[in-house]
Amino acid sequence: MTVIPWLIALALVISLLQAVVYRRYGMRAVSHRRHYSESVVYAGDPVDLVEEIENAKWLPLPWLQVESMFPVGLRFHSLREEEIVQGQAHVFHQSLFSLPPYTRIVRRHHITCLQRGVYGLQETTLTCGNLLGVTATFVKIEPQARLTVYPALLSLDDIPLPSHSWQGDLSVRRWTLPDPFTQVGTREYESGDPLHQINWKATARSGRLQVQKRDYTAERHLQICLNVEVSEQMWEAVTDPELIEFGIQCAATIAQTALAQGMETGFSCNAWIADEEPRFVRSSAQTGDSHLDALLTLMARLRMRCNGSFHTLLEEDAEEGVTGRDYLLISAHQGARLQAAATHLRAMGNSVEWLPLSHDVLTTPRDGGARPVESVTSNSSSVVVGMH
């Protein structure tokens, strides 16, 4: 009978000792890292979130709980119902691990990117428990991974481009300039021609002043302007996000096509940019793949909030005296003040075309349009690695 109290006392001592050990050493040499398999994708594309948990010490971890938040724009195909709590803006995820000594677990979560945006990983909480299942200690980890999701690209056939100037391979009106390096013959002298261009041999043959005839080169400068106002009466919050999202996809598709053909292409918008002070969005016309990446990143960061009237954006361009541009105005309305601003730009020597946004266009079947969403149904995969 005297043995039982001693056994109880011994069990209490062991319980207290292991509790102290796990409280002090449980989270030591434990690391948790996450990164995306790609840093940039398009909306609708799949991507993997790679998660690594490592216990690099002799003390085993009976259980380790990982809690984190994910944005709803990323669909996790591997999360079970008991692991998640669905909210309006985020998904709360919990997972439980058991880590033997010197063990690393690598898990890949299969994701589909549903919405454009820039997604940073949220703070992760690791909670360690002792042998009796009681919470020992916890730590918080600030992740650094970042994923940029570009707007989905459409087919040009599904975009209501202006019929008389946007044909075939997205040709726009060219503002022609004489090319000083290419000569294609001579012509008669005209008032204002520089004297150094006179061709004296041709003048002697014809008996009349002749000047060098130059070929023409095209200055191709496309300015894509997106209006997030659904109507003239709309204030700050966008009242029809689905329609404006379609407008962003149109702008991204046209920018990608124009830049692929060597056009100088710029982008303007009256929406807000995430994590920046409210202002009109403006990107000057340039060429090249790096400029395309910059434009698509800019479009990925657009918020569904209006920063000011679209006609004000165009009026500011007119005040700067811009000329020789091909303006494409993507808008759900063409109010009186907006029409007046467009007319002013035309009078200054710019080409102005409209791309109207409406639900008639939005609901039209778009075969071969947006990049298809790949079906990902497999569960997340885990690899357990023993370290020596």
Dihedral of alpha carbons 258, 177, 180, 321, sign: negative
CATH number at residue 282: 3.40.50
- Mean pLDDT value across the chain: 81
Q: Is the pLDDT of residue 121 over 90?
A: no
Do 58 and 107 fall within a single domain? yes
Enclosing domain of residue 102: 26-150
On whether the CB atoms of residues 382 and 105 are closer than 8 A, the answer is yes
Position 40 confidence tier, pLDDT thresholds 50, 70, 90: very high
Do 51 and 165 fall within a single domain? no
In a domain, 34, yes or no: yes
Do 146 and 244 fall within a single domain? no
Average confidence (pLDDT) over 159-165: 68
Do 200 and 259 fall within a single domain? no
Do 168 and 146 fall within a single domain? no
Residues 229-279 pLDDT 10s: 998 888 888 989 999 999 999 999 999 999 988 889 999 999 989 777 778
Which one is predicted more confidently, 78 or 291?
A: 291
Do 200 and 301 fall within a single domain? no
In a domain, 370, yes or no: no
Cα–Cα–Cα angle for 282, 286, 291, nearest 5°?
A: 80
Do 317 and 336 fall within a single domain? yes
Do 130 and 144 fall within a single domain? yes
The first and second tokens of residue 189, run together, are 């002298």
Domain count, the chain: 3
Do 210 and 285 fall within a single domain? no
Do 346 and 324 fall within a single domain? yes
The first and second tokens of residue 83, run together, are 């692991």
Do 213 and 233 fall within a single domain? no
